[in-house]
């Protein structure tokens, strides 16, 4: 916990008091916290916390030391960046030594990057067999060779990476690492060039490897997968994307919206039920909020969090596309470099065309239309939900409760409706269905439930 905003008004004079107060109120506020009275106390606490952190239910990469006295905190005040009364202590990162067996070149959305294949080693509670090598510059700078003993580090939540090689332990059999001449995904020729890092203006340049094939399937698949992830389209994983791309069914993200049922069914190991579910999920993605759409565009250095801020500021895709650097800079969390990334991205003809194609598929919510409060359309009704629907069952349960209805786990005379997910065919059988039929309880699917929740009218389920 960071702090209680109104602690002073509650009469506390110390942070510890406020933590104890929260605990009494039933919050879990200070499970691993401790009140330290001396620098020795602090040192002891840090080493204990470092030792015990593996037993915690959550990951920590350090502890925060805070001044306890609230009057003293007020006296110390804050700088523009952080309070003067708190400081973070980071634990030493975890390292392990292992052998670099080989290097694979991984095709990404923008470039081809080196990945170290390691002799498996325990690191930070997991077995690590792959680690990042960043780029060819770092490999040369650190003089890392295949066959080397290398130090691998894992800090916090980041991907493990190779810190250095043990050059003094070389046998002479080690080999230098060279960028690939052909793309590992499509076999097309690669190009090695100097480029701004991550596309960030002003950042240092680094040597990057590109596939020169504009229709490289590896790169396309990565772009589509990125889009799918950011648009939160369920049931479309990287492997399916690869199959769709290699079958020529998808050549860019918007092709997903064009997929027909028979296209999906032509893909290996695709059943009808899954195909319908995927089509449903893709269709649903057309109404994603602006924040998801902005994140899915693939603008360098604009992830989900910045996209959220941008969507808040610009409200519509049209407004966002017309954003000037000055406007972008008024968005919290958007600095000059990211603003420049955005304006450069939005000005590139290829991107303009791609956003046009995407916009044609999107269904934007009218601006300023706040979601209307849920009417108690389902009050007094009890629903039993079963079978597979196009949406998670929890979503349907929330819908029922939000509209004043009840959800029950079993069918009885008190059940108003049995909801069977639409992905179940007419031949679906279950104990709940049989019982509902014998009791004459109407059976509906999730669409019937939704229309009932919206209108309050009986959707006319089939009576058993």
Phi, psi at residue 429, to the nearest 5°?
Answer: -130, 145
Between 160 and 188, CB nearer to Zn ion? 188
From residue 16 to residue 35, the character string flagging contacts with Zn ion as x (rule: CB under 5 A) and all else as - is --------------------
Cβ 145 to Zn ion shortest distance, Å:
26
- Per the CB < 8 A criterion, the answer to whether 217 and 185 are in contact is yes
Between 212 and 287, CB nearer to Zn ion? 212
Q: How many CB atoms lie within 10 A of CB 208?
A: 21
Between 218 and 387, CB nearer to Zn ion? 218
Stretch that binds Zn ion, among 18-26, 84-92, 175-183, 396-404 (CB under 5 A): 175-183
What is the spatial distance between Cα 328 and Cα 310, in angstroms, rounded to a whole number? 8
Cβ 193 to Zn ion shortest distance, Å:
15
Between 149 and 186, CB nearer to Zn ion? 186
Between 185 and 294, CB nearer to Zn ion? 185
What is the spatial distance between Cα 432 and Cα 447, in angstroms, rounded to a whole number? 19
Structure tokens at 288: 């994603």
Cβ 105 to Zn ion shortest distance, Å:
10
Q: Does 183 bind Zn ion (CB under 5 A)?
A: yes
Structure tokens at 354: 């791609």
Between 62 and 184, CB nearer to Zn ion? 184
Cβ 184 to Zn ion shortest distance, Å:
8
Cβ 176 to Zn ion shortest distance, Å:
23
From residue 113 to residue 132, the character string flagging contacts with Zn ion as x (rule: CB under 5 A) and all else as - is --------------------
Closest to 321 (Cα-Cα) out of 350, 285, 351, 363: 351
Cβ 239 to Zn ion shortest distance, Å:
18
Between 184 and 459, CB nearer to Zn ion? 184
What is the spatial distance between Cα 86 and Cα 63, in angstroms, rounded to a whole number? 10
**How many Å is the Cα radius of gyration of the chain?**
28
Instruction: List the interface residues with Zn ion, window 41-100 (CB under 5 A).
Output: none
Total site size for Zn ion, rule CB under 5 A: 8
Start-to-end CA span in the chain (Å): 54
Cβ 259 to Zn ion shortest distance, Å:
23
Between 101 and 215, CB nearer to Zn ion? 215
- Per the CB < 8 A criterion, the answer to whether 396 and 406 are in contact is no
Cβ 107 to Zn ion shortest distance, Å:
6
Cβ 213 to Zn ion shortest distance, Å:
5
Q: Which of 139, 152, 185, 341 binds Zn ion (CB under 5 A)?
A: 185
Between 183 and 209, CB nearer to Zn ion? 183
Instruction: List the interface residues with Zn ion, window 296-335 (CB under 5 A).
Output: none
Stretch that binds Zn ion, among 130-138, 167-175, 182-190, 234-242 (CB under 5 A): 182-190
Stretch that binds Zn ion, among 89-97, 180-188, 279-287, 345-353 (CB under 5 A): 180-188
Cβ 219 to Zn ion shortest distance, Å:
6
From residue 196 to residue 235, the character string flagging contacts with Zn ion as x (rule: CB under 5 A) and all else as - is ---------------x-x--x-x-----------------
Between 216 and 420, CB nearer to Zn ion? 216
Instruction: Please enumerate in sequence order all residues whose Cβ is within 8 A of that of 271, keeping only pairs 6 or more positions apart, or say none.
Output: none
Between 64 and 251, CB nearer to Zn ion? 251
Stretch that binds Zn ion, among 167-175, 185-193, 373-381, 384-392 (CB under 5 A): 185-193
Structure tokens at 3: 């702090």
Q: Which of 114, 160, 188, 405 binds Zn ion (CB under 5 A)?
A: 188
- Per the CB < 8 A criterion, the answer to whether 233 and 283 are in contact is no
Phi, psi at residue 200, to the nearest 5°?
Answer: -85, 120
Between 188 and 421, CB nearer to Zn ion? 188
Cβ 245 to Zn ion shortest distance, Å:
12
Instruction: List the interface residues with Zn ion, window 370-399 (CB under 5 A).
Output: none
Cβ 185 to Zn ion shortest distance, Å:
5
Positions that interact with Zn ion (CB under 5 A): 183, 185-186, 188, 211, 213, 216, 218
């Amino acid at each position: 916990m960071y702090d209680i905003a109104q602690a002073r008004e509650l009469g506390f004079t110390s942070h510890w008091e406020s933590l104890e107060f929260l605990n009494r109120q039933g919050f879990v506020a200070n499970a691993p916290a401790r009140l330290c009275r001396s620098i020795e106390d602090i040192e002891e606490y840090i080493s204990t916390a470092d030792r015990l952190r593996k037993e915690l239910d959550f990951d920590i990469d350090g502890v925060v030391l805070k001044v306890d006295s609230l009057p003293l905190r007020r006296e110390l005040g804050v700088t523009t960046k952080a309070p003067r009364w708190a400081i973070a202590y980071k634990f030493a990162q975890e390292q392990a030594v292992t052998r670099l067996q080989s290097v694979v070149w991984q095709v990404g959305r923008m470039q081809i990057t080196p990945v170290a294949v390691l002799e498996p080693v325990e690191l930070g509670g997991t077995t690590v067999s792959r680690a990042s090598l960043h780029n060819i510059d770092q490999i040369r700078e650190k003089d890392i060779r295949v066959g080397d003993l290398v130090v691998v580090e894992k800090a916090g939540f980041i991907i493990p990476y190779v810190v250095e090689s043990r050059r003094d332990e070389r046998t002479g059999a080690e080999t230098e690492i060279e960028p690939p001449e052909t793309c590992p995904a499509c076999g097309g020729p690669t190009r090695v060039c100097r480029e701004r890092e991550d596309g960030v203006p002003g950042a240092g340049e680094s040597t990057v490897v590109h596939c020169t094939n504009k229709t490289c399937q590896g790169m396309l698949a990565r772009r589509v997968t990125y889009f799918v992830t950011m648009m939160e389209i369920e049931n479309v994983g990287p492997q399916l994307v690869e199959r769709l791309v290699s079958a020529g069914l998808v050549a860019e993200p918007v092709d997903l919206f064009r997929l027909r049922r028979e296209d999906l069914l032509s893909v290996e190991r695709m059943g009808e039920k899954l195909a319908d579910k995927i089509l449903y999920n893709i269709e649903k993605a057309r109404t994603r909020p602006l924040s998801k759409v902005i994140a899915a565009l693939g603008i360098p250095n604009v992830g989900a969090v910045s996209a959220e801020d941008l969507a808040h500021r610009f409200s519509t895709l049209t407004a966002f596309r017309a954003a000037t650097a000055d406007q972008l800079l008024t968005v919290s969390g958007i600095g000059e470099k990211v603003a420049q990334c955005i304006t450069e991205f939005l000005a590139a003809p290829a991107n303009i065309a791609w956003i046009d194609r995407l916009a044609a598929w999107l269904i934007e919510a009218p601006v300023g239309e706040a979601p209307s409060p849920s009417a108690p359309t389902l009050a007094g009704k009890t629903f039993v939900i079963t079978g597979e629907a196009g949406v998670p069952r929890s979503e349907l349960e929330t819908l029922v409760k939000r509209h004043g209805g009840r959800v029950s786990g079993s069918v009885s005379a008190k059940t108003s409706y049995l909801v069977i997910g639409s992905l179940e065919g007419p031949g679906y059988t279950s104990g709940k269905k049989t019982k509902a039929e014998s009791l004459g309880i109407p059976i509906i699917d999730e669409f019937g439930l939704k229309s009932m929740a919206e209108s309050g009218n009986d959707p006319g389920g089939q009576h058993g």
